[in-house]
Amino acid sequence: MSTGSVWLGLVLGLPSVSLAAQTRVTGTVAGAVLNVRTRSDAGTALGFAGSVRYRRFEFGVHYAEGTLQPTDPQAEVRDLVEGAVALRFLATPWLTFHVGPQARSYATQSGTERWVTWQAGGRGEAAIVGTSVRGYATLWRALGLNVNLSPGSGSARGGEVGVIVDLPPRPFWFSLAYGIDQSDVPGAGRRETVESLTFTAGLRRR
Amino acid sequence: MRLGVAALALLLATPLRAQDGNAKDVITGAVRAYRDLDFEVAARMLRRALTPPLVTGLDDAERAQALTYLGAAEHYRARHDSAIAVFRRLVVFAPRHRPDTLVFPPEITRLYDDVRRRTKVVAIRLPADTEFMLAGEGRLVAWLYPSVPHDVTVAINREDGRRLRTVFTGPIGDSLDVRWDGRDSTGALATGDRLWLTVASRGAGSEATRLVRVPLRVELSGADTLRHTPPLTSNQLLPERADGGTGVRSLAGGLLLAAGALTLPAITAPGERASGTRFVVAGALGVSGLVGYLSRRPGRPLPENAAINRTRRDAWRRQEDVVTRENAQRMRAARLRIRSGTMVVVERGGGDS
């Protein structure tokens, strides 16, 4: 939980300092509810996300934690904690590229399994109803994957499709997104697929 | 032999030197000849003094003196028309000049006054260089001296004769000073290389009989103004009403992304059996597309585009206001420099009366 507190401080602190310092900096803060599913378990997680943008560059963070209940009653309950940091480049108003690490850990009584991926990907965005309702699709691929339990590294890829609803001129926005990623460590015979349905509500500073 | 050559050179040089003597010496000689009643010699010498290159060595007073003696000499040579022509030339050149009554007899001064009364012209005196701040009360001041009281129009013209501003219209008596603030009739600055201060003297009718013009060069210094923001073009503004493709694009975008949500597991996790949660997002995107299609039928207003355009126009207007204010401030601190040239008299062919 101490890690979570650090992340929380970072997310809430960064936008406020930067926004006050420079008016051209825009940013968002948001809370999120996630429905997470893997092959063996599913559960709900709570989290938050934030970003600050300066000209064509955006720095984003994301954090969530929750509990996954196993579908097999004999299996252990897992605590899920995930966080990500990304540096994004806005090539055009509708196309963004990003790079950054994502860490996901599953804690059980027998130990903690930690998956760290370095992602690089792109996101396309399209207006559907004016500029108030927009859809987006993200695809990424791992530049590197490390798992602490199994020796060696592997590959990972994933994506997310979602819809964002803005409420101009108010600063509120909402989004609903479906994401799926698959990590594969062939040497250890491990493959992890995670699906998520995320509802996010946030504030945007223009 | 060498002495002989030197003596010959001296003999040849002496008359040449006498012939090419400076203009003042020639006038002195002419006045002496006039006093000796040798009017023909006096007239010949004076004409030579008043012709280039000698005339360039005379100042205004000396030229006026030479013209006076020449007019008098022509009169005494019984060349009445020549005398009148010379005196008219004198009036045009120096409207305020009067022959010295201690030197010239009444018949000469009467003749001169008669010519002066019939020759309406104005002399302009201008500082060669005038500089003033636009924000202050500074002006270009021109002093006008007429040959006789008459009506004049004082104006600032372009080189092509187009009038920029009328500075004064009315009668001029003994003298008149007119002021010009460097602006045209609309209040804009009249800068340029070739402007003319023009004084038109009017005869008995309303026609100008003679123009006196002084070239002006007007420069603005210290007014490095900002460039105005170019107005927004149609490319920079969004359409404020839906066209035939707007709704279709919304529907296509929504459906395409919905299809993306449905096929995402096959792309990123092939062979994996995905849950049904993706249908929630696919449904939301599909419904959004449909809403977009129905609400964006051709001709319908697009309020979000109108709002964006309004914001852009407001931003442009704010920027333009800033530039306008800044430029006005810079212009207040700017200085106008007006340099004047040599006066030119243009006869218009109208008869003096």
Provide ipTM, 2 decimals.
Answer: 0.86
DSSP 8-state secondary structure symbol assigned to residue B330: H
Q: A182 vs B303: CB contact, 8 Å cut-off?
A: no
Question: φ, ψ for residue A12 (rounded to 5)?
Answer: -75, -30
Across the interface, of B253, B264, B303, the residue whose CB is closest to A161 is: B264
Residue pLDDT, tens place only, A97-153: 999 999 999 999 888 999 999 999 999 999 998 878 999 999 999 999 988 876 667
What is the share, in percent, of chain A residues with pLDDT greater than 90? Answer: 65
Across the interface, of A161, A176, A182, the residue whose CB is closest to B260 is: A161
Name every chain B residue with its beta carbon within 8 A of the beta carbon of A157: 268
Buried b (16+ CB within 10 A) or exposed e, A88-104: bebeeeeebebebbbbb
Q: B302 vs A136: CB contact, 8 Å cut-off?
A: no
Tell me the C-alpha distance between A158 and A177, whole Å: 13
Angle (CA) B219 B221 B227, round 5°: 100
Residue pLDDT, tens place only, B190-228: 877 689 999 999 877 667 788 899 999 988 877 677 888
- CB-based contact (8 Å) between A157 and chain B? yes
Taking the CA of residue A5 and the nearest CA in chain B, the distance in Å comes to: 30
Mean pLDDT of A21-41: 86
CB atoms under 10 Å from CB of A204, counted, come to 17
Please identify every stretch of chain B with a pLDDT value under 70, giving residue numbers as ranges: 1-21, 193, 205-206, 223, 349-353
Tell me the C-alpha distance between B152 and B171, whole Å: 6
Report the chain B residue with the minimal C-alpha distance to residue A42. B275
Give pLDDT, residue B177: 92
Name every chain B residue with its beta carbon within 8 A of the beta carbon of A181: 268-269
Q: Which of residues 126-155 of A touch B (CB under 8 A)?
A: 126-133, 135-137, 139
Q: Cis peptide before A169, with omega less than 30 degrees from 0? A: yes
Across the interface, of B250, B267, B285, the residue whose CB is closest to A163 is: B285
Strands (E), chain B: 122-125, 129-133, 140-146, 150-158, 163-172, 176-180, 192-202, 208-221, 335-340, 344-347
Listed in sequence order, the residues at least 6 apart from B45 whose beta carbon sits closer than 8 Å to its beta carbon are B26, B27, B29, B30, B33
Report the chain A residue with the minimal C-alpha distance to residue B293. A129
Q: Is the pLDDT score of A162 beyond 80?
A: yes
Q: B257 vs A136: CB contact, 8 Å cut-off?
A: yes
When scoring B249, B255, B257 by the number of chain A Cβ atoms within 10 A, the one with the most, hence best to mutate, is B257
Report the chain B residue with the minimal C-alpha distance to residue A196. B277
